[in-house]
Amino acid sequence: MNGMNRRQFFKVSAAMLSGSSMAALGLAPQTALAEVRQYKLARMTETRNTCPYCSVGCGILMYGLGDGAKNAKATIVHIEGDADHPVNRGTLCPKGASLIDFIHSPNRLKQPQYRAPGSDKWQTISWDEALDRIAALMKADRDANFVEKTEGKTVNRWLTTGMLAASASSNETAYLTHKIVRSLGMLAFDNQARV
């Protein structure tokens, strides 16, 4: 700074006036330095993923607790945009920027649950119980209602059980789901493309 304008001059004078007025008395506040908050991501594990919401398909970086060592159990603690991604270039919308609260939502389901006919509450059941019971119900319905032929035509369809597939599940999930559903002869099969 070569020159000092009038305003700065007054500012500096005022500072000197107030400082010096008491500095003479030997009174000065204690040294008070402070540092910025520690950068919290320094050694976390970075995992690349894709935002699960809309179809822009933004790249995200998930930061997991721990450096990947076997004894450290990863928990995602922060998510931000992937700056390398050609579409979002590091940006995220209010939904993508809040993904951390999706992963850790108190409404995440943690155990298989069952609601009995007429009941007004959930009960926790085991995976084995749940899957066995569903398999039994499906087979019983299929065996009872499968249509092999109608008016002499082979149709091999099962119409009394239907399925809605997710619209945010992976291609791999979708592919396997489709393969299984058609092998059962199911036709009442749709996804969220329409709504």
Partner 1 sequence: MSETARPRTLPRYSASERSNHWVVAITFILLALSGLAFYHPAFFFLSHLLGGGYWARVLHPYIGVVFFVCFALLALRLARHNAWEAKDAQWLKQFPDVLANREERLPEVGRYNALQKLLFYVLVLSAVGLFLSGIGLWREWFAFSVGTVRLAAVVHALCAFVAITSIIVHIYAAIWVKGSVRAMTRGDVTWGWAWRHHRAWFRQMVKGANK
Partner 2 sequence: MTNHWVDIKNADIILIMGGNAAEAHPCGFKWVTEAKAHRGAKLIVVDPRFTRSASVADVYAPIRTGTDIVFLGGVIRYLLEKDQIQHEYVRNYTDLSFIVREDFSFENGLFSGYNPEKRRYDKSSWDYERGEDGYVKTDPTLQHPRCVYQLMKQHYARYTPEMVERVCGTPQAKFLQICEMLASTAPANRVATILYALGWAQHSIGAQIIRTAAMMQLLLGNIGMPGGGINALRGHSNIQGLTDLGLMSNLLPGYLTLPNEAEQELPQYLAARTLKPLRPNQMSYWQNYPKFFVSLMKAWWGKAATAENNWAYDYLPKLDKPYDLLQVIELMAQGKMNGYICQGFNPLAAAPNKAKVLEGLAKLKYLVVMDPLATETSEFWRNAGESNPVDPSKIQTEVFRLPTTCFAEEDGSLVNSGRWLQWHWKGAEPPGEARSDIEIMAELFLRIRERYRREGGVFPDPILDLAWPYVNAARPTPEELAKEYSGKALVDLPDAKDPTKIVRRAGEQLAGFAELRDDGSTACGCWIFAGCWGPNGNLMARRDNSDPTGIGQTLGWAWAWPANRRILYNRASADLQGRPFDPQRKLIYWNGRAWTGADVPDFKADEPPDSGMGPFIMNPEGVARFFARAGMAEGPFPEHYEPFETPLGYNPLHPNTPAATSNPAARVFARDLADMGKVEEFPHVATTYRLTEHFHYWTKHVLLNNIVQPEQFVEIGEALAKELGITNGQQVKVSSKRGYIKAVALVTKRIRPLTIEGKTVHQVGIPIHWGFTGLTKPGFLANTLTPSVGDGNIQTPEFKSFLVKVEKA
Partner 3 sequence: MALQSLDIKRRSATTSPTPSVREPSVGAVAKLIDVSKCIGCKACQTACMEWNDLRDEVGTNVGVYDNPADLTEHSWTVMRFAEYETPQGDLEWLIRKDGCMHCEDPGCLKACPSPGAIVQYANGIVDFHQEHCIGCGYCVTGCPFNVPRISKKDHKAYKCTLCSDRVAVGQEPACVKTCPTGAIEFGTKEVMTEHAQARIADLKSRGYANAGLYDPAGVGGTHVMYVLHHADQPTLYSGLPKDPQISPAVSLWKGVAKPLSMAAMALAALVGFFHYMRVGPAETSEEDERNAEKEVSHE
User: Binding to partner 1 (CB under 8 A): which residues in 5-24?
Assistant: 18, 21-23
Which residue lies nearer to partner 1 by CB, 18 or 145?
18
**Which one-letter amino acid corresponds to residue 170?**
S
Q: Is 16 exposed, middle or buried (0-12, 13-18, 19+ CB in 10 A)?
A: exposed
CB of 46 to partner 3, least distance (A): 14
166 forms part of the interface with partner 1 (CB under 8 A): no
Number of Cβ atoms within 10 Å of the Cβ of 53: 16
Q: What end-to-end distance do the CA atoms of the chain give, in Å?
A: 63
72 forms part of the interface with partner 2 (CB under 8 A): no
CB of 64 to partner 3, least distance (A): 15
31 forms part of the interface with partner 1 (CB under 8 A): no
* Window of 2-10, 16-24, 33-41, 78-86 that interacts with partner 2 by CB under 8 A: 78-86
Which residue lies nearer to partner 2 by CB, 21 or 154?
154
Residues 86, 173, 114: CA angle, nearest 5 degrees:
125
C-alpha pair distances (Å), 104 with each of 23, 73, 177:
54, 15, 27
**How many whole angstroms separate alpha carbon 61 and alpha carbon 45?**
10
Which residue lies nearer to partner 2 by CB, 11 or 95?
95
Give the one residue of 8, 13, 18, 192 binding partner 2; rule: CB under 8 A.
192
Q: Which does 31 bind (CB under 5 to 8 A by kind): partner 2, partner 3, partner 1, none?
A: partner 3
